[in-house]
Amino acid sequence: MLHSLTNNAKLVIQFKRTLFWLTNDNRFYSANKIQNNDVDPLRLIPFLLMHVGCVGILFVGTSTAALVLASILYVLRMFFITAFYHRYFSHRAFECSRKFQTVMAIVGCTAGQRGPLWWASHHRSHHLHSDTNKDPHSPSQTGFWFSHSLWFLTPKTYLTPENHIKDWLIFPELKWIDKTDWLPFVGLAGICYALGSLLNTFFPGLETSGAQCLVWGFFVSTTCLYHATYAINSLGHLWGTRRFETRDNSRNNSILALITLGEGWHNNHHRYPRSARHGLYWWECDIAYLGIILMSAVGLVWNVQKAPSSLTAKNQDAT
Ligand SMILES: [Zn+2]
Ligand SMILES: [Zn+2]
């Protein structure tokens, strides 16, 4: 009797922990562990599994349809991260309606980079404390790999530091999206599999399948998306040129700009974070900005912020 009671109590505790995990609840970690800055194996495992999933290409093969799906999902989700998680939610570089903001918050979660409030709060912390010991991801402070892909796997970065995103807390729907950020991400995996199965049934000539679209569209595309985004936090502060003498080590890098739709103009961005345009000259390719201009032209967004013309006119630090 006593034994079954103990087992029941253990089950309840385990159920609660799982629930806390699934809703990003601060009770998941004990008060003394929440400040721990060591990588938590429990958080590392799902991240590693995304990489292991890519090995599936050896078993499912490839097809033009699967490659096209992977490319579309890469570009689309990079745009959601770049234009919305970064330029909108983190820097308020433009405005849009509450409905559109909600839709973009949900589709942004399909990138598997936590919710928009979590992302924006840590990014704002990065700008506040760039390349100091308070920066959540600085290669000069904690080394390349920690700044690239380990900093978000620690108990310390599990929660959303709400003091940095007080302006968004008036929207309860954003808080809910942040709490269940994994739902759209897992949903995308299901959509990839279902799409591949449908193509296999109705268009067998495409020679694809549910498993193939899952591996290429979800695992491969997401893993590439991960490392391109993370490269801005790591390489974006190590590799490239510095047009402006900012307080940090941010760099401009055309290769990073190409693979991240414009985020590689990171030194420009640190000089004037509010600007929706990161590539300051016509030759500084900034595809996300073109997308923002397009959305502005059709009335989806407005009040698009730009860096002062003095920055480009003098081509030097205007402070
Ligand atoms: Zn930076
Ligand atoms: Zn930023």
Residue-wise pLDDT tens for the chain (319 aa)?
Answer: 656 667 788 888 888 888 888 888 878 887 778 888 899 998 899 999 999 999 999 999 999 999 999 999 999 999 999 999 999 999 999 999 999 999 999 999 999 999 999 999 999 999 999 999 999 999 999 999 999 999 999 999 988 989 999 999 999 999 999 999 999 999 999 999 999 999 999 999 999 999 999 999 999 999 999 999 999 999 999 999 999 999 999 999 999 999 999 999 999 999 999 999 999 999 999 999 999 999 999 999 999 999 988 877 655 543 3
Q: Could you tell me the distance, in angstroms and rounded to a whole number, from the CA of residue 138 to the centre of ligand 1? A: 8
- Cα–Cα separations (whole angstroms), residue 51 to 77, 227, 303: 18, 11, 40
Reading the block at residue 112, the tokens are 């598997």
Q: At what angle do helices 172-179 and 98-108 cross, to 10 degrees?
A: 10
Q: Could you tell me the distance, in angstroms and rounded to a whole number, from the CA of residue 89 to the centre of ligand 2? A: 10
Q: What is the per-residue pLDDT for 318?
A: 38
Q: Could you tell me the distance, in angstroms and rounded to a whole number, from the CA of residue 145 to the centre of ligand 1? A: 15
**Among residues 117, 109, 84, 118, which one has the least CA distance to residue 186?**
109
Q: Indicate which ligand has the atom closest to the C-alpha of 137.
A: 1
Q: Indicate which ligand has the atom closest to the C-alpha of 235.
A: 1
Q: Could you tell me the distance, in angstroms and rounded to a whole number, from the CA of residue 173 to the centre of ligand 2? A: 23
Q: Could you tell me the distance, in angstroms and rounded to a whole number, from the CA of residue 252 to the centre of ligand 2? A: 13
How far apart, in whole angstroms, are the C-alpha atoms of residue 231 and residue 259?
10
Q: What is the per-residue pLDDT for 4?
A: 67
How far apart, in whole angstroms, are the C-alpha atoms of residue 234 and residue 228?
10
Q: Could you tell me the distance, in angstroms and rounded to a whole number, from the CA of residue 296 to the centre of ligand 2? A: 21
Protein residues within 5 Å, CB atom, of ion ligand 1? 250
Q: Could you tell me the distance, in angstroms and rounded to a whole number, from the CA of residue 248 to the centre of ligand 1? A: 8
Q: Could you tell me the distance, in angstroms and rounded to a whole number, from the CA of residue 260 to the centre of ligand 1? A: 14
Q: Give the long-range contacts of residues 75-80, CB within 8 A, separation 24 or more.
A: 75/261, 77/108, 77/110, 77/111, 77/221, 77/222, 77/225, 78/111, 78/225, 78/228, 78/229, 78/260, 78/261, 79/261, 79/287, 79/288, 79/291, 80/104, 80/107, 80/108, 80/110, 80/111
Q: Could you tell me the distance, in angstroms and rounded to a whole number, from the CA of residue 129 to the centre of ligand 2? A: 12
Q: What is the per-residue pLDDT for 105?
A: 98
Q: How far is CA 244 from the centre of its chain?
A: 26
Q: Could you tell me the distance, in angstroms and rounded to a whole number, from the CA of residue 180 to the centre of ligand 2? A: 24
Q: Could you tell me the distance, in angstroms and rounded to a whole number, from the CA of residue 132 to the centre of ligand 2? A: 16
Q: Could you tell me the distance, in angstroms and rounded to a whole number, from the CA of residue 249 to the centre of ligand 1? A: 8
**Among residues 238, 233, 10, which one has the least CA distance to residue 122?**
233
Q: Could you tell me the distance, in angstroms and rounded to a whole number, from the CA of residue 240 to the centre of ligand 2? A: 17
Q: Indicate which ligand has the atom closest to the C-alpha of 231.
A: 1
Count of beta carbons in the 10 Å neighbourhood of residue 29: 18
Q: What is the per-residue pLDDT for 26?
A: 78
Query: Exposed, middle or buried, 303 (CB in 10 Å: 0-12/13-18/19+)?
Result: exposed
Q: What is the per-residue pLDDT for 309?
A: 83
Q: Could you tell me the distance, in angstroms and rounded to a whole number, from the CA of residue 195 to the centre of ligand 1? A: 37
Q: Could you tell me the distance, in angstroms and rounded to a whole number, from the CA of residue 278 to the centre of ligand 2? A: 10
pLDDT, tens digit, for every residue of 102-117? 999 999 999 999 999 9
Name the residue type at position 40.
D
Q: What is the per-residue pLDDT for 3?
A: 67
Q: What is the per-residue pLDDT for 1?
A: 61
For residue 30, what are the contacts with CB-CB under 8 A and spacing of at least 6?
none
Q: Indicate which ligand has the atom closest to the C-alpha of 249.
A: 1
Whether the predicted model's global pTM rises above the 0.85 cut: yes
Q: Indicate which ligand has the atom closest to the C-alpha of 90.
A: 2
Q: What is the per-residue pLDDT for 317?
A: 45
